[in-house]
Structure 1
Amino acid sequence: MKPQGKEILIGLLIGLAANIAGIYLYIYFFSKASIEATLQAALENDFLGSLIALGAILNFLAFFVFIRKHQYYRARGVVLATVIAALIILVSKFY
């Protein structure tokens, strides 16, 4: 694998982890139910996309940290993770 591809993959994994962490933190601080119950309610009541979008806010932090450190390929990976989250939101809204 080329060094740029490896850096993009690292950024992608960090972006996905930041998104998952953001979802967890949102549920932990703002939901009175457990994580499983909140995710189940999100699926049933069609607000899973909103939950994913709120989780993606942490991607801004990762993106700007990588830009500040001049790690542009990792920042591209974080943007790719954000695009994947957007596609998941799009699919969840229409299906």
Structure 2
Amino acid sequence: MKKEILIGFLVGVIAAVFGFVFAIQFFGQSDDWGIVIEQAISEGFFTKLMSIGALLNLGAFFLFLKKNKDHRAKGVLISTVLILITTMIIKFMN
């Protein structure tokens, strides 16, 4: 059971990272990720990119539910909540 939750958690984190990279490529003004991230931080939309990146977790969550992998879906949900907390901390520190 713990292994299944860990697998779901890792899938959630990886999906969020891929979504974040996709958001950087799609919404960024440059091909250099460092420049886009610096712009996002200075202009105040970094947390929005993080939130858009976490949208891929929605697909992973429902895919696991459809395949009756409830513990993996729970892991994805845990990773999404941690991303939410991180996003809120970053947003309110600025």
Could you say whether these structures have the same fold, taking a TM-score greater than 0.5 normalized by the shorter chain as the test?
yes
Instruction: Structure 2: state its 5+ residue gaps.
Output: none
Q: Which among 33, 51, 59 is matched to residue 35 of structure 1?
A: 33
Matched, 1:88 2:86: yes
Shift of 1:39: 1.1
Return the TM-score normalized by structure 2.
Answer: 0.91
Q: Distance in 1 between matches of 2:39 and 2:6?
A: 32
Instruction: Structure 1: state its 5+ residue gaps.
Output: none
Provide the residue aligned with 1:64 in structure 2. Answer: 62
Return the TM-score normalized by structure 1.
Answer: 0.90
Percent identity (aligned): 36
Residues 28-58 of structure 1: CA deviation (Å, up to 9, x unaligned): 1222212111111222223221111000110
Supply the RMSD in Å over aligned alpha carbons.
1.0
Q: How many residues align?
A: 92
Q: Which among 9, 16, 31 is matched to residue 12 of structure 1?
A: 9
